[in-house]
Structure 1
Amino acid sequence: MTEKLNIFLDMDNTLVNTLPVLNRATDLAVDFGVEKPDQIPGIFRNLEPIDGAVAGVQELADRAELYILTTAPWNNVSSWSDKLAWLTEHFGNGPTSPFYKKVIMAHTKDVARGKGGILIDDRPYHGAAEWDSEKYQTVWIQYGYDERLTWDRELPAFLTLVANLAASESLDARTAVASVNTRFKYALSADDASMELADWEMK
């Protein structure tokens, strides 16, 4: 059997429309006795998927080996279980789910880099940018940095082409992405690997 390409997916602002909700809830943090909105119990449970994310994942599920690689706030115990409940709601729970027993929650995402593959993450932080590595032949694709690389536009088709090439020619992720991208010329990530943060995120 041909080995599938590993694709790791961040959740917040990559699969889940998180940041707008957290920004609107900034003033509520005080009411809950916490410092930041991402520490409010239950706030990660009932969020909306990013447009096209569920369909895009389902499109990729047969082509690639999919994993969730996400960070949950350390001081919000419910966020860990809420994220798993969110995945179960939108993708099912059992062997037919693309993420069944393939969920990694870590504050340093590069700990999973040794397995090889692609990380799709909107931000460079928590080890995401370190996925852009020649040593491990891995790639970080910054979700939405190139406006064409979103779930409701060209990201699923691009990743499908990369996964198919990697499987058919036994290529590592970095080589497969570079080869396919010679045609499209996508900007895969910001050169300076930094971005503006909301005021509450810098506390």
Structure 2
Amino acid sequence: MNEQDFQNLVRDTNLSQNSREAARLVFVEGWSQTDAGAELGLSKQRMTQIVKVLRTAEQKQKDEADLAALRHGAPIPSSTGHVAALEASYAVAVKAAREAYGDEAYIQTPKVDGKSMGDVIARTDFHLVQSVGRGAVVVHELAKLDRVPAIGKSVAIEYRDGRGTVLDQQRELGRGGRG
């Protein structure tokens, strides 16, 4: 990483000047964490924390750039492949949930052998966002569902062995009432 990229990366962190210098030695100069820590009097644990802060900031910058590109219709670079497209789709799904319920939205993934009930509030290229009440949403991968319900539809999604079956909530309620 060059000096300018490093400065852009640490700009939004709360690292002290000493911690920034230690990170610069590792990320720009190529020093080991141990050597950089010894040079600046920082413990191994502190060096691990510093590197983690920078790796997290680096990933956040990458995710934001991917999301911005996706919003403007740019294709995802082929070098990042399907995983990046899936991650970008998930990021857009989370954004939709936060737009609907604010930053306090409780975002969940489906339980392996569980059920979620509620309205479909958004869909991305690879994900479905389902409101399950009290500001909580479940983000489902479309590839794991047997069918894709329309936005606004009230459904139950039941998982068995990692596969989701989509049921109209009215039909589901009707079945429960016949017992």
With structure 2 as the length reference, what TM-score do the two structures score?
Answer: 0.28
Structure (1 or 2) with the greater strand fraction = 2
Please say which structure displays the higher CA radius of gyration: 2
With structure 1 as the length reference, what TM-score do the two structures score?
Answer: 0.26
Higher relative contact order (CA 8 A, sep 6+): 1
